[in-house]
Structure 1
């Protein structure tokens, strides 16, 4: 019996829609976990809607279309939602299923801070020693096709790899597209990815992301931009005060 490459096996995919882009301060509004056991197979979807407890800024509403009125009427307490999401991710980690997260340091860090904000511990607390085997299509593409010009948003990458993205900026739609995108990247770059285990790939992406962040930081420095680039992947470490909380 011929063994398959990791991108031809079970994959899970996680995405959130939020109140903004600051992982330290912004809140989860909606989330989705999509699981597929084989390419072309049925998709198992879990979705969450939270009332973040703060007004959703106009810019965020314009992106995902979720209003304050909608979350007040249909959303659940943010602590309960964050805990359920973390338990669902931990379940995939214990099963050894690779977890696709587009721009992982954003979604995973924001979830971690949401857990801490509500006194639930950290994402690591919920993992309880299990390891998330993260696959970040953004990191993969930037490493495997580093000299290609153009943007590398989910929409752009789906167009480049021929993946259909229906209903962008809906958490379930984005998670589904990211999962299919990873399969497409695996097929196109089979020679580079085919013999790599999910655990080894996770470690390599950490190195690749650090190199990509270093290159971006050097570009910012040359251009006189004060912006700082975090090299951590797939999760940014919390401040010490948060660790002690």
Structure 2
């Protein structure tokens, strides 16, 4: 199918030093520029971010400091890149929340204005999520091939969840039929508590995953600000979360 375009549409993606839009930098930019007549231009450019690429980021995109040390900075290519994007609409995957805002930040640091007004922005991820519902009803239809009768009744939903898991095991050969491994696979990232309020960082140190201390080691915060522990214990947090932080709080107190 050919896209119905009135002006060029640029699909683009970024690889970066991290996920902080205001602080992180681009290390690779790829684009495909689709013209109204259907022909395309594409290019990939690696960039020296002017800062070390964290190991966690390299683990994702496999780009190292050594690989970009002789590449130009974003500032050096910014004017040429702005011309490429001039008069184009934009498309990407999760681009509205991440790629486009970060690109705007980079142009701003280079003293250039990436004009948003007048452009159309297509986020393919949002289309995917809206077209393919992430509900039990949708999962039951997808994995079991049947419509879920009596949806939102406890028994029907419980039975459907059981059947969906069986369907997942049938569909994915790499998904091991082992409770321990299924539990590990279905965890929310490297969460320590069930609500993922506390997670493990790259060094397997428990850190906060919310609020003003997000990303900071739990024990370090509790040592410096014990009132934060008290606040959490008195706050609207799940019992499991409170149990987890109580253990961590006791450990940091015993280490004094």
Q: What TM-score, normalized by structure 2, do the two folds share?
A: 0.47
| Higher helix content, 1 or 2 | 1
Q: What TM-score, normalized by structure 1, do the two folds share?
A: 0.48
Asked which structure has the greater RCO (Cα within 8 Å, sep 6+), the reply is 1
Q: Work out which of the two has the higher radius of gyration on C-alpha atoms and give 1 or 2.
A: 2
